[in-house]
Amino acid sequence: AQKITQTQPGMFVQEKEAVTLDCTYDTSDQSYGLFWYKQPSSGEMIFLIYQGSYDEQNATEGRYSLNFQKARKSANLVISASQLGDSAMYFCAMRERDTGNQFYFGTGTSLTVIP
């Protein structure tokens, strides 16, 4: 079974608008972390935001926020006030305490910001 599922292969958003990228996860571990990474065409994986499984508050980092719904096992990324530089691939990922430090990644969502 897939540990991370991203069902939106591609998304478009108007500049200055907000956009939500979906992510659902599957784990039986009680302690885990959820992450979002941005991958521009240059290839590097840029860390955006982290949410711990025991965190009660949704994580926020500048224009990024993570909508964490534990019971539904979802961890959606919200980007507010989209900018042209936000156009990139976005990956949802998870780390579990029981399986060491490796990341499990989804298949990604390609975001295009339209001027």
Partner 1 sequence: EAGVAQSPRYKIIEKRQSVAFWCNPISGHATLYWYQQILGQGPKLLIQFQNNGVVDDSQLPKDRFSAERLKGVDSTLKIQPAKLEDSAVYLCASSPPGRTPEWDGYTFGSGTRLTVV
Q: Among 17-25, 71-79, 80-88, 104-112, which window interacts with partner 1 (CB under 8 A)? A: 104-112
Tell me if 53 contacts partner 1 by CB under 8 A: yes
Sequence-distant (6+) residues with CB within 8 A of 12 are 111, 112, 113, 114
Amino acid letter at 96? Answer: E
Q: Compute the distance between CA of residue 76 and CA of residue 82 in angstroms, rounded to an integer.
A: 16
Q: Among 15-23, 64-72, 76-84, 103-111, which window interacts with partner 1 (CB under 8 A)? A: 103-111
Residues 23-52 that bind partner 1 (CB under 8 A): 29, 31-33, 35, 37, 42-45, 47, 50, 52
Tell me if 11 contacts partner 1 by CB under 8 A: no
Residues 82-101 that bind partner 1 (CB under 8 A): 91, 93-97, 100-101
Tell me if 106 contacts partner 1 by CB under 8 A: yes
Neighbour tally for 57: CB within 10 Å: 7
Geometric angle at alpha carbon 88, from 37 and 82, rounded to 5°: 95
Residues that bind partner 1 (CB under 8 A): 4, 29, 31-33, 35, 37, 42-45, 47, 50, 52-53, 91, 93-97, 100-103, 105-108
